[in-house]
Structure 1
Amino acid sequence: MVAPIAIFAFNRPNLLRRTLMALARNPLASASPLTIFCDGPRNEQDEPSTQAVRELARTAEGFLSVDVVERPTNMGCASSVIDGLTQMFSLHERLIVIEDDILTSPHTLRFLNDGLVRYAESENIFNISAWSPPHVARAVPAGYPYDVYAIPRFNCWGWASWRDRFIGIDWSVGDYGTFKRSPYLRMLFNAGGEDLSAMLDAQMQGKINSWAIRADYARFKKHMLGINPLHSYTLNIGMGSGTHTTTKTAYWDSDISLALEVASFPKVIGVDEAIRKVYHDSYYGEKRSLPQRIFHRLSHLLRQCTLLA
């Protein structure tokens, strides 16, 4: 069965148009029911662009069906997504999620649907991501036999998951106090990038308003992994204009023309430590200071000691 798709949009009609056009080029689009959640304007200045988004959503074509949910007021990115996910997972066992600035390969829906089928019964898999840092594919160990890899991180630039992974998430992060005081838990959470604990801190301090870091924390608590492709099926075209992607950069850009029509998914998959290290380090880029490099190395050694204990 082809999974339904949810798109979350706000005030960027030009990006949403490109997102819808690319998604409709997927052969499975015509078999996929689509729901577009349109957030309301924050102020009078937002009204023309949010209205343009709604009009565009109503005219979306190429899908099995199109349902448009128009928010009467501005919920904000995080609340809109959390509410939409709750609604969709209450109706569907599995779901594909695309935000309004995600350009997809023609093979994206095939990849995500195949992943949903392959790992539906895998108790250690939290989600299937259509995006991967471009730096990973360039450093895959020789002889790596698959087209995907597992990583302790949730990527939200085009993804899919199942109801039982998302229903019951504590979006308030009620145990944050315990986590905040535990260097050990923070180290474990940071296995997918040293930025993870810092982002959760920023969320809980009210400095950002992200649903994704809270979903990633839920993944961490469930002791689950995310599945990523070696070659990305999506490209974020909204860098510099989004709620949390406010800096324009090409650092994360992937060549989605390299995405495979049919990917090889192993039935059982664990974390390849060489890939995890490249992945982890990609979130620093060229910005890591000497103290950070020392801390990273000590954390890595401690993690290895923990795994061997």
Structure 2
Amino acid sequence: MPDFGLRTAVVLIIFNRPDTTARVFAEIAKAKPPRLLVIGDGPRGDRQGEMEQVAKAREIVQRVDWLCTVQTNFSDVNLGCKKRVSSGIDWVFSQVDEAIILEDDCLPEPSFFRFCEEMLERYRADLRVGMISGDNFQTDPIPGADSYYFSKYCHIWGWASWKDRWVESYDVGMAQWPRVRDTGQLADMLGGSGPARYWGKIFSRVHRGEVDTWDYQWVFANWLQGRLSVMPTVNLVSNIGFRPDATHTNSLTELADLPTMPMAFPLQHPVGLLRNTRADRVSAKRCFQPLWRRIYGRVKGWPRILSQKIKHVLA
């Protein structure tokens, strides 16, 4: 894509893994964003050697060798995933009106950046769209020639959004959840009692402060506003962070290290703005299932997981 010059700010969220940070940063460097905003959490006091790893990760993002404004938002103390990422994105959208966001284990295919930028521009004024994802977790190709589809899910292994979507709806404490729970609105949002039970348990745990995360709150915010996500018909981001030292992705699954494919340009746009329910059913089965079904799925997918384990041992 020699004729493409990225104009959108890129956000990189880092912590204590300089090796994955270096790989993701290398892809960002190829894209040469004009503005790079880096969010970093502080080391945990009870983890030996973590201070050094945090320092190494932060040093990597100082290696900018292109024309770029670099801004950092580093915490001296460990805030945890929930507070650090949510407050970091709050900071991002106090600086810019739209951004492409990557975590230190989300390795983008080069065309990811152009895809996000074109989608940010196309749907900037369309409040029916809450975010753009770089992820495709489908088991089979999406029928048709379109470059992307619309989903109710919010896959955040490489994503992009706008200030107004975040600022006007995101609430890390999920203050509206009890009202939604008590009125049964979640079943209406999700189209059935089964999904409502699954997500209701998650949202209740998040609301009680039992889960140190920020992303379920983003899902809830988008559903509360009736917004959809843009999903590419090819996978543009691979999560390289499934390993024991990860904060959340510390066990291998069939979604780890998924291969990526370049997006073809010019983009082919869908007719209208309708959710692809068939694709969402696949995403639900692969990503959002009760525990026993996820275990069964892992057993079925053991050859791929075994291959991943061998790959990590030999790496």
Interval containing the TM-score (normalised by the shorter chain): 0.7 to 0.9
Q: Which residue of 2 aligns with 1:164?
A: 164
Paired residues of 1:42 and 1:73 also in contact (CA < 8 A)? yes
The residue number in structure 2 matching 1:277 is 281
Compared with structure 1, are the counterparts of its residues 80 and 207 closer, same or farther at alpha carbon in structure 2 (3 Å cutoff)?
A: same
- 1:96–1:158 CA contact under 8 A, matched in 2: yes
Distance in 2 separating the partners of 1:215 and 1:98: 15
Q: Deviations over 1:210-267 (max 9, x none)?
A: 1111011000111100110011111110013432212122335432134435432337
Q: Deviations over 1:118-148 (max 9, x none)?
A: 111112100000112142xx1534xx23110
Aligned length, in residue pairs = 282
The 3 A distance-change label for structure 1 pair 63 and 97 is farther
**Aligned with 1:256 (options 260, 264, 272):** 260
Residue 149 of structure 1 aligns with an amino acid whose one-letter code is Y
Identity %: 23
Aligned counterpart in structure 1 of residue 15 of structure 2, from 10, 31, 48: 10
Matches of residues 3-152 of structure 1 in structure 2 within 5 Å?
3-25=8-30, 29-43=31-45, 45=48, 46-62=50-66, 64-135=68-139, 138=140, 140-141=142-143, 144-152=144-152
Q: How far did 1:94 drift? A: 0.8
- Residues 280 and 30 (structure 1 numbering): CA distance in 2 closer, same or farther, change over 3 Å? same
Kindly provide the CA deviation profile for residues 147-178 of structure 1, in whole angstroms up to 9, marking residues without a partner as x. Answer: 10101111111111111101132221112222
In the superposition, the TM-score normalised over structure 1's length comes to: 0.82
Instruction: Tell me whether 152-161 or 263-272 shows the greater mean CA deviation.
Output: 263-272
Aligned to 2:241: 238
CA distance in structure 1 between the aligned counterparts of 2:42 and 2:291, rounded to whole angstroms: 38
| Structure 1: gaps of 5 or more residues | 290-309
Query: Is the Cα–Cα contact under 8 Å of residues 148 and 230 in structure 1 kept in the other structure?
Result: yes
Matched residue type, 1:2: R
What SS does structure 1 have at the residue aligned with 2:52? helix
Is 2:110–2:262's contact at 8 Å kept on the other side of the alignment? Answer: no
Letter in 1 for 2:173: S
CA-atom RMSD, angstroms? 2.5
**3-state SS of paired residue (2:101):** strand
Question: 5+ residue gaps in structure 2?
Answer: 1-5, 295-315
The aligned counterpart of 2:312 is: none
Conservation of the 8 A alpha-carbon contact between 2:151 and 2:277: no
CA separation of 1:193/1:17 partners in 2, compared to 1, >3 Å: closer, same or farther? farther
Secondary structure, aligned partner of 2:270: coil
**How far did residue 54 of structure 1 move?**
1.6
Are the aligned partners of 2:83 and 2:214 in contact in 1 as well (CA < 8 Å)?
A: yes
State the one-letter code of the partner of 2:99.
L
